[in-house]
Amino acid sequence: MKLTTTLMASTALVVAAGSAFADDHAKMADSMTVVSWGGAYQKSQQNAYTIPYAEKHDGLEVIWDESSAEAVAKLRAMDEAGSVTWDVVDVVAADALRLCDEGLAIEIDPEKDLAAAPDGTSAEEDFGELLVGDCFIPQIVYSTTFGYRTDMVPEGADAPSQICDVFDLEKYPGKRALEKRPINNVEWALLCDGVAKEDVYDVLATEEGQQQALDKLATIKDEVIWWSAGADTPQLLADGEVFMGSTYNGRLFAAIEEQKQPIGMMWDAQVFDLDGWIIPANLPEDRLKRAMDFVKFATDTQRLADQAKYISYGPARASSAPLVGQHAELGIDMAPHMPTDPNNAANTFLYNYEFWADYRDDIDAKFQAWLAQ
């Protein structure tokens, strides 16, 4: 083992020394920095992607960095400093779009850079419309949705099941946890203020529509605890600080199934969002090759299905869905816990990237001013 590594290393040296002839055969870097979110999600990525990948590529060192939350700002700073230290970065689709806009991520050709499905369906078709922007390689579908304390449901009332129950303080008194940003909240508010689902973004593009959404939110403002980290809501629910709250469905799954908290899921009007990889721009040749090779491996049909064994997020490929099996430790079927399961996806939203790229700063300014009132 040791001998082979040494041999390989010395071969690499020889090749590197005389590699003027062979750009195409340039060696892949033998270390790779992968950036993700930490916690259970990163763990699922290690189990499904990097551990199997490292088994195939002897001597590869994988370094993890839990900086995805500030990925855009950090990549921009690295780019300005002229030294990008990350190779593969896990980001939400909105950030991927932004990185692409800023020229901080490389463009991806799905046909060439991504693996086709086992049945031969091309990657482009397999990912379908989840290929948002030119740089984003989708990985999972997650959703932002509501959980509630089953033991705090008022006597005589049914468990909340409609998004508008969030805004119904008479029927369901108690504190709510909402994310401290306008995205999702304003859509839900409009939906419960009589705006048809297909009109939501048209309405939101107007001053009046934005005000309407804030006015609707104002009806429950006194009862809201605003969260900024995904772990907040499950904790608030577990502590009994709130009756219901929005968060990522995987977090609720963990609280319900793994920690056995008395929490129920409310899938109505869940907002789908995507998470996936981008590869930073301006990487040296060897690191770029390694990153491309890894991403191609990590987003093939089987790998995406594997990740669902560890966390209840839906694989981004259509061809992966039938392969989703049981939870690796709990042994329960994962399919019913996927946000994409037909039973859960009766009424859903897909995060509107275009709209929020345009209106995020504007509505956020108004939202923050409204919060501070």
Partner 1 sequence: MADTTQSGPMLAADGSPLKRSLSRTLRRQKLRALLLIAPLLIFVLVTFIIPIVSMLFRSVENQIVSHTLPQTVEALQEWDPNSGEPPDEAVYQALFFDMFKAAEAKRHTQVGNRLNYEQPGLSSMFRGTGRSLDDMGEEFEDALVDIDPSFKTSEFWFELLSGEGADSFLKDRRAKLAAMAGESMRGDIGFAPSAKALELLPATTEAYTDFAIWTAIVEEDVVAEERPWEAVYAGLGVDLRSAEVVQQIASYDGPGAAALKAAVANIDQLPQESFRDMFAESDEDWLDTEGWRTMALYSPDYTTGYFLNSVDLQKTIEGVEARPETQQIYIKLFIRTLYMSLIITGACILLGYPVAWILANLPLRTANVLMILVLLPFWTSLLVRTSAWKVLLQQQGVINEILVWLGFVDDANRLIIMNNATGTIIAMTHILLPFMILPLYSVMKTIPPTYLRAAKSLGATNWTAFWRVYFPQSVPGIGAGSILVFILSIGYYITPEIVGGTDGVFISNRIAYHISSSLNWGLAAALGTILLLVVLALYWCYDRIVGIDNVKLGG
- In the bound complex, what is the minimum distance in angstroms from residue 295's beta carbon to partner 1? 20
Considering the complex, state which of residue 122 and residue 206 has its C-beta at the smaller distance from partner 1.
Answer: 206
Q: Is the dihedral of CA 227, 233, 239, 243 positive or negative?
A: positive
Is residue 199 classed as helix, strand or coil in its secondary structure? helix
Q: Is the dihedral of CA 170, 175, 179, 180 positive or negative?
A: positive
Contact 228, 183 (CB under 8 A): no
* Contacts with partner 1, 216-235, as mask; x by CB under 8 A: ---------xx-x-------
Considering the complex, state which of residue 187 and residue 300 has its C-beta at the smaller distance from partner 1.
Answer: 187
For residue 102, state whether it binds partner 1 (rule: CB under 8 A).
yes
For residue 14, state whether it binds partner 1 (rule: CB under 8 A).
no
Whole-angstrom CA distances from 129 to 59, 133, 200 are 37, 10, 20
Stretch that binds partner 1, among 47-55, 265-273, 331-339, 356-364 (CB under 8 A): 356-364
Stretch that binds partner 1, among 6-14, 156-164, 339-347, 360-368 (CB under 8 A): 360-368
Is residue 88 classed as helix, strand or coil in its secondary structure? strand
For residue 23, state whether it binds partner 1 (rule: CB under 8 A).
no
Q: Which of 223, 217, 303, 313 is nearest to 274 (CA)?
A: 313
With CB under 8 A as the contact rule, the residue among 58, 111, 151, 358 that binds partner 1 is 358
Question: Using CB under 8 A, which residues numbered 233 to 252 contact partner 1?
Answer: 239-241
Burial class (CB in 10 A: 0-12, 13-18, 19+), 277: buried
Is residue 310 classed as helix, strand or coil in its secondary structure? coil
- In the bound complex, what is the minimum distance in angstroms from residue 256's beta carbon to partner 1? 20
Site size with partner 1, rule: CB under 8 A = 36
- In the bound complex, what is the minimum distance in angstroms from residue 116's beta carbon to partner 1? 26
- In the bound complex, what is the minimum distance in angstroms from residue 171's beta carbon to partner 1? 19
Considering the complex, state which of residue 240 and residue 336 has its C-beta at the smaller distance from partner 1.
Answer: 240
CA–CA separation, 148 and 157 (whole Å) = 13
* Contacts with partner 1, 312-341, as mask; x by CB under 8 A: ------------------------------
With CB under 8 A as the contact rule, the residue among 48, 72, 192, 213 that binds partner 1 is 72
With CB under 8 A as the contact rule, the residue among 9, 16, 22, 73 that binds partner 1 is 73
With CB under 8 A as the contact rule, the residue among 100, 166, 195, 335 that binds partner 1 is 100
- Give me the helix-helix angle, 353-372 and 93-101, nearest 10°: 110
For residue 173, state whether it binds partner 1 (rule: CB under 8 A).
no
For residue 124, state whether it binds partner 1 (rule: CB under 8 A).
no
For residue 215, state whether it binds partner 1 (rule: CB under 8 A).
no
CA–CA separation, 19 and 36 (whole Å) = 33
CA–CA separation, 255 and 57 (whole Å) = 36
Which DSSP string do the residues of 127-154 spell out, in sequence order? HGGG--TTT-EEEEEEEEEEEEEGGGSP
CA–CA separation, 68 and 90 (whole Å) = 6
With CB under 8 A as the contact rule, the residue among 61, 66, 258, 362 that binds partner 1 is 362
Contact 267, 247 (CB under 8 A): no
For residue 284, state whether it binds partner 1 (rule: CB under 8 A).
no
> Would you tell me which residues interact with partner 1 (CB under 8 A)?
69-70, 72-73, 76, 98, 100-103, 180, 205, 211, 214, 225-226, 228, 239-241, 354, 357-366, 368-372
